[in-house]
Structure 1
Amino acid sequence: MAFQYQLLAQQITQKIYTGELSADQRLSSLRQFAAQQRISLNTARSCYELLEANGLIYVKEKSGYFVQEQAPGREIAVPEHPDFQPKVREISNLELQIQIHEAAIDSKLIHLGSIQLSPNLVPSKALSRSIQRALKYCKPEDFLYSDRQGHVRLREALSAHWSEDGFHIAPEQIYVSNGCMPALSVMIQSLSAEGDSIIVPTPNYNGQLQLLALLKRKIIEIPADTEGFDLERLEQAMQYSGAKLCLLTANFQNPLGFCLSNAEKQKIAQLAAKYQCHVIEDDIYAECSFSAARPLPIQYWDQQGYVIYCGSVSKSLSPSYRVGWFCIPPRLKHLHAKLIIQNISVNTPLQLGLADLIYSRAYRQHLSQLRPKLMKQVEQYRQFIVQAFAGVAVRINHPQGSYALWLQFPEHVDGLALYYHALQQGINIVPGLLFGEDRRYNNCIRLNAGHELSAEIQQAILQLAHWVKHGLSTAVQVNAS
């Protein structure tokens, strides 16, 4: 469990990085801060000492504490997004989707494609201790075939964990799965049939589109941008398209990184009930928030039982721990037998190990340490990319959480050609072409900022920039002639 001074330091860090606290701004004195926060003087001192150690504040003798000026950052333009009318579409590029997915997990390539955390950010020692304790204290029945719904201890742990974050899902509503994508697959197949249309904001995570294509579902795209997606278009699609299912991410959507407001989430839950259109909510990035508080899911406002909550620890803990979940509301209880048959049992020791990690508070401590690191790391990537692409009108999203970066280049830059060039150089990226239809995002790419900005990754980004600059220079010469 994170100590109170660490949580307070994280809150101040967020205010510094977002500009709410400006360089050289004077902070409250230790005694004032302690009184404001209702904490002891020692706790206040520990908070300020941690901020000072992290280079975020400094002390002037007989004057107090001040915000340390951070390395100058350049204002970065965010991507522009096309407007379009929603219509039923087949998902194209399935073979290309599969090819790029396979490349994304190739350990020989530089990981700028698949969105995953650096192994250095994984609490491997805490995980090891939790699994060892779980094995030591497990019961004889834990060595038999496991409950297809998931071990009750993990379901109870997840329920308690979410309750601390302000939303409540009963253990009997939780089904443990082998990651988030299998959870989405089970629910999509349970609530729709082949040939049905699913409402999806785009640009949208290409893995979800690949899954829908493999399941032979069609899509109805609605426009999304770095601020969110159009709720009026969403309502129109629910009302007139005949679709009875949406696939949405409200918290730090991949690839754009937006987080919808509570009012927008509440509106979505109301629309789902009004039009009896189920919402499958993929909340896999919620715990990668850059602020101390985890944002609430759409599910929090679901009163009629039309929101199915899905997630995983793949992005907040480790992609190798294939533990995810889907949670059905009481009105879908009649699907229980079907869901049990479709769901694949998850390794029991891993379930018990994750439950121990949660109950021991080690998972909470990991998250409290991870969030400020991710925020700083993502900003380092953004600033370095702008420097690397100097002279190119590159636009980059400014995510509020997670670590997916969406880059938009001038229109005549071919993101797919850049992907193939990068692959030849041993670099993995994902071209924007795969995040929607009609080649709307062909001048975009998505990059992973989950690894430290090492010299190797810096060199890889410089190689991408060199290719883009060379292509633009050649295009100018051709046009001039």
Structure 2
Amino acid sequence: MMSFQYQQLAQQIAHKIYQGELAIGQRLLSLRQFSEHHQISLNTAKSCYELLEAQGYVYVKNKSGYFVKAKKQPFVDEPKHLDFIAKAREVSNLDLQIEILESAISNDLIHLGSIQLSPNHVPVEALRRSIQRALKHSKPEDFLYSERQGHIHLREALSEHWAEDGFFIAKEDIYICNGCMPALSVVLQNLTQQGDSVIIPTPNFNGQLQLLAVLKRKIIELPAHTQGFDLKRLEEAMKSSTAKVCLLTVNYQNPLGFCLTNAEKEQIAKLAEKYKCYVIEDDIYSECTFGSTRPLPIKYWDKAGYVILCGSVSKSVSSSYRVGWFCIGSNLKHLRSKIISQNVTVNTPLQLGLADLIYSRAYRQHLVQLRPKLMAQVEQYRQFIIQAFYDVDLRINQPQGGYSFWLQFPEKIDGLKMYYFAQSKSINIVPGEVFGEEQRYKNCIRLNAGHELSEEIQRAIELLADWVRAELQQSKVA
């Protein structure tokens, strides 16, 4: 899998700065000159320079351009790729999964656990205006029971919003629900039965694994890494196993942050059709891209209806705004009555408020403003984490979007033990053990970078680093 073009260009410039080929204080090409030189769009050029600025390689002078800054970053490897062959099995440690998921959303702890945006990134005023406007222009029937499929205004708004991003889903195929996890639950219950197996790359979001455990579905794990996962392995699993469903996140997967290429997504859609294996696509992070446009979902290449797109605005607007969706095609219309009966009706004012946010362009404007902030914030976290663990053999991912970090430590470090230590210090993290089976990720943890890197969070990260050093020193003595 390749990085986005702006990331590749940024890496090239960063290398030149590191090697001294570009002098400190030297002015870079203007955005227009840079775009013409590399035959790229102005948006791509701007994303490249913004990433370099976030990484501390360049700085900007008002009306003068971008200049090289004195900065040499330490080189840190990405997490090692673990290879394994897995057979269908149940998700273990359900009690631990539930305990960790519940503690991850505790507001009494420092927010390094649950992947959620800071309240300061939430477009509160725009939401308030949209909800007020929606209530003002609502009709009497909007205060009766809502359609179980979801309000037509929101379904139309989503359809038009996605069409602007380059893919079309008819309003008739969109079903509104109370968030992404309820969407996954409804779809899984209609496509599988208890005891069935679901193909899923790991390490993978622990909330999905918990859901599969609660639904009594087995899993067939595929080895995932910071560049994605092996599509040949995926095909083998589709072909040789009894699983008829995959659960995939291909745009900024949690926790690794990878984004598959368009060619890889197209191949997945073709494999789904070839083996009649449904792909449930959790696309919840796609709008948290660091680029100017969101990446396309697998659904874009789905010709036969074997891809079910699921998502919500909980990662791009607010974790408390519980509005999500799933999209099914005509080949699953025979399940419509059953799906409708299982789908819980969503608060109508919230639906209408989100529809107004989209139609008024406030949502798109929010995304335009959020993306560069998010990119800078994530890079700030990454550099601080590297600095805090400067003398530890740390491996950390380089997210291409979203705001989750996957940290891999020496094997002597126990992520679950670190989790309990962090809890005792009112810090929330998530141990790697719950992102897959057989304790493959026991020496890993996941951190949230959705909040501003405050002094409190910096102290928390430094405290974790000190604990790791003490554990390593103790293991040497032993």
Please give the residue correspondences for 1:161-310 in structure 2 after superposition, counting only pairs within 5 Å.
161-310=161-310
Q: Quote the offset at 1:25 in angstroms.
A: 5.1
Q: Which amino acid aligns with 2:29?
A: L
The answer on whether the counterparts of 1:27 and 1:67 sit within 8 Å (CA) in structure 2 is no
SS in 1 for 2:219: strand
Instruction: Say if 2:316 is the partner of 1:328.
Output: no
The answer on whether the counterparts of 2:10 and 2:52 sit within 8 Å (CA) in structure 1 is no
Q: Quote the offset at 1:59 in angstroms.
A: 5.8
Aligned partner of 1:8 in structure 2 is none
Q: Which amino acid aligns with 1:218?
A: K
Q: Quote the offset at 1:12 in angstroms.
A: 11
SS in 1 for 2:305: coil
Q: Which amino acid aligns with 1:27?
A: L
From the superposition, tell whether residues 423 and 158 of structure 1 become closer, same or farther in structure 2 (CA, over 3 Å).
same
Aligned partner of 2:86 in structure 1 is 86
TM-score normalised according to structure 1 size: 0.90
Aligned partner of 1:124 in structure 2 is 124
Q: Deviations over 1:208-249 (max 9, x none)?
A: 000000000000001100000011111011001111000000
Instruction: Say if 2:68 is the partner of 1:27.
Output: no
Q: Quote the offset at 1:201 in angstroms.
A: 0.3
Q: Deviations over 1:271-315 (max 9, x none)?
A: 000000000000000000111111000000001110000001000
Q: Which amino acid aligns with 1:191?
A: L
Give distance in 1, aligned partners of 2:116 and 2:159. Answer: 25
Structure 2 unaligned regions, length at least 5: 18-25
SS in 2 for 1:190: helix
Give distance in 2, aligned partners of 1:340 and 1:457. Answer: 43
Give distance in 2, aligned partners of 1:31 and 1:318. Answer: 38
Q: Which amino acid aligns with 2:172?
A: E
The answer on whether the counterparts of 1:14 and 1:291 sit within 8 Å (CA) in structure 2 is no
SS in 1 for 2:223: strand
SS in 2 for 1:158: helix
Q: Which amino acid aligns with 1:166?
A: G
Q: Which amino acid aligns with 1:157?
A: A
From the superposition, tell whether residues 14 and 125 of structure 1 become closer, same or farther in structure 2 (CA, over 3 Å).
farther
Q: Quote the offset at 1:73 in angstroms.
A: 2.7
Please give the residue correspondences for 1:310-459 in structure 2 after superposition, counting only pairs within 5 Å.
310-459=310-459
Give distance in 1, aligned partners of 2:350 and 2:11. Answer: 37
Q: Quote the offset at 1:37 in angstroms.
A: 9.6
The answer on whether the counterparts of 1:397 and 1:405 sit within 8 Å (CA) in structure 2 is yes
Give distance in 2, aligned partners of 1:132 and 1:314. Answer: 20
From the superposition, tell whether residues 365 and 81 of structure 1 become closer, same or farther in structure 2 (CA, over 3 Å).
same
From the superposition, tell whether residues 171 and 124 of structure 1 become closer, same or farther in structure 2 (CA, over 3 Å).
same
From the superposition, tell whether residues 59 and 148 of structure 1 become closer, same or farther in structure 2 (CA, over 3 Å).
closer
Q: Quote the offset at 1:98 in angstroms.
A: 0.4
Q: Quote the offset at 1:335 in angstroms.
A: 1.1
The answer on whether the counterparts of 1:179 and 1:323 sit within 8 Å (CA) in structure 2 is yes
Give distance in 2, aligned partners of 1:254 and 1:52. Answer: 24
Give distance in 1, aligned partners of 2:123 and 2:70. Answer: 28
Q: Quote the offset at 1:330 in angstroms.
A: 1.4
Give distance in 2, aligned partners of 1:38 and 1:248. Answer: 31
Q: Which amino acid aligns with 2:28?
A: R
Give distance in 1, aligned partners of 2:106 and 2:463. Answer: 19
SS in 1 for 2:270: helix
Aligned partner of 1:3 in structure 2 is none
Q: Deviations over 1:361-386 (max 9, x none)?
A: 11111111111111111111111111
Q: How many residues align?
A: 460
From the superposition, tell whether residues 274 and 463 of structure 1 become closer, same or farther in structure 2 (CA, over 3 Å).
same
Structure 1 unaligned regions, length at least 5: 1-10
TM-score normalised according to structure 2 size: 0.91
Q: Quote the offset at 1:51 in angstroms.
A: 11
Q: Quote the offset at 1:60 in angstroms.
A: 11
Aligned partner of 1:104 in structure 2 is 104
Q: Deviations over 1:81-139 (max 9, x none)?
A: 21001211110010000001111111100010000000011111111111010011111
Give distance in 2, aligned partners of 1:281 and 1:119. Answer: 27
Give distance in 2, aligned partners of 1:386 and 1:475. Answer: 22
Give distance in 1, aligned partners of 2:320 and 2:361. Answer: 21
Aligned partner of 2:469 in structure 1 is 469
SS in 1 for 2:363: helix
SS in 2 for 1:90: coil
Structure 1 vs Structure 2 CA RMSD: 2.8
